[in-house]
Amino acid sequence: MKNILEFQQKIVPELMELLKKRYDILRTIYYNQPIGRRVLANSLGMGERIVRTEIRFLRNQGFIKINTSGMTVTREGEKIVDGLKNFIHELKGLSEIEKYIKDNLKLRDIVIVPGDCDKDETVKNEIGRNAANYFKNIAKDDDIIALTGGSTVKSVIDSISEAPNFKNILVVPARGGIGRNMETQANTLAARLAHKVGGTYKLLHVPDNLSEEAIKTIVKEKDVKDIVKNIYSADVLIYGIGRACKMAQRREMPQDKIDEIQSEGAVGEAFGYYFDKQGKIIYSTPSIGIKNERIGKIKTLIAVAGGSSKGEAILSVERNNYNSILITDEGAARQIMKFIK
């Protein structure tokens, strides 16, 4: 198949570009349906005239429907989106990039989805769907699942279909909450995941930016002690990765502290730890929850993050997480490979 793709790209490169364009249009409609033509054009960064021509083709083929609320994908169109996924993956050479990154970072596994979150928000949904499928394949009865907050972790939970066929699963937030968006808080996502898999959950009603003195007092409470024990005993940890400066700002750190960790080379952040390019911890925020020294004891780590702007951040966090399964996108993966080289 690889040789055939190479021949096709050499002889009819315009055919491959057309295929990728129509796939991107169909996938974007699928994840945003119903969607209007102008919004679709803006999302893809294409001219309305080009989008109008391709929409006409997709409708004539029976892949989409158009009504007053916008465009939607038909069942036949869904088959195309799903069926072309592996082909586009090979067409873009993502299997080779997966192998390169996996071997260099000694990851347990890696999945790269086509596209770039920074340019197309629907790619985040694809990361979520792939991570959700991975989770359903590795989760088992009696597991304790810990997860952090964030929009990419939310996309994972959104993509998990209700499947209450697990027994005695417990879901817990890995750390306290940050920010004001309740939809992406770890507590909210833990409760939603527990509901979807027919499990139970415990909540950690503690902000993630308390002083060390406050934390020392709170951890003495029995309820907090119990949930921290559950977090430390997690079998699976699902976590997002952020850029150091952006996450420091979200945690409302003083500007002088942000300047300090930046000057020391922090580029990536995960579960309250700030890492430099070599994967060394530069700084950690006082918090109740998962500790970096316990990460290696968790059987399965699922990292979810995408976007070319996060490439260096992802690399910094994943350099020492040898047991990690990384679900990312093409934009971030190409940057990671560039930084490794």
Torsion over CA: 162, 299, 150, 97 (sign): negative
The torsion of the CA quartet 128, 194, 182, 123, rounded to 10 degrees, works out to 0
Under CATH, which number does the domain 2-90 receive? Answer: 1.10.10.10
Write the DSSP string, 20-76: HHHHHHHHHHHHH-SB-HHHHHHHHT--HHHHHHHHHHHHHTTSEEEETTEEEE-HH
Q: How many helices (H) and strands (E) does the chain have?
A: 16, 13
Predicted pLDDT at 265: 92
Sort 136 into a burial class: Cβ within 10 Å, 0-12 / 13-18 / 19+.
Answer: middle
Q: Where are the beta strands (DSSP E) in 151-245?
A: 170-173, 200-201, 236-240, 242-243
Predicted pLDDT at 296: 81
Third-level CATH fold of 93-340: Rossmann fold (3.40.50)
- What mean pLDDT, rounded, does the chain reach? 87
pTM, full prediction: 0.85
Predicted pLDDT at 175: 82
Sort 278 into a burial class: Cβ within 10 Å, 0-12 / 13-18 / 19+.
Answer: exposed
2-39 pLDDT per residue, tens = 566 666 666 666 778 888 889 889 989 998 889 998 98
Pair 124, 117: CB distance under 8 Å: yes
| 12: amino acid identity, one letter | V
98-140 pLDDT per residue, tens = 999 999 999 999 999 998 999 888 899 999 999 999 999 999 9
Residue 163 phi/psi, 5° resolution?
-145, 75
| Sequence spans of domains, the chain | 2-90, 93-340
Q: What is the band of 277 on the pLDDT scale with cuts at 50, 70, 90? A: very high
295-326 pLDDT per residue, tens = 888 999 999 999 999 999 999 999 988 789 99
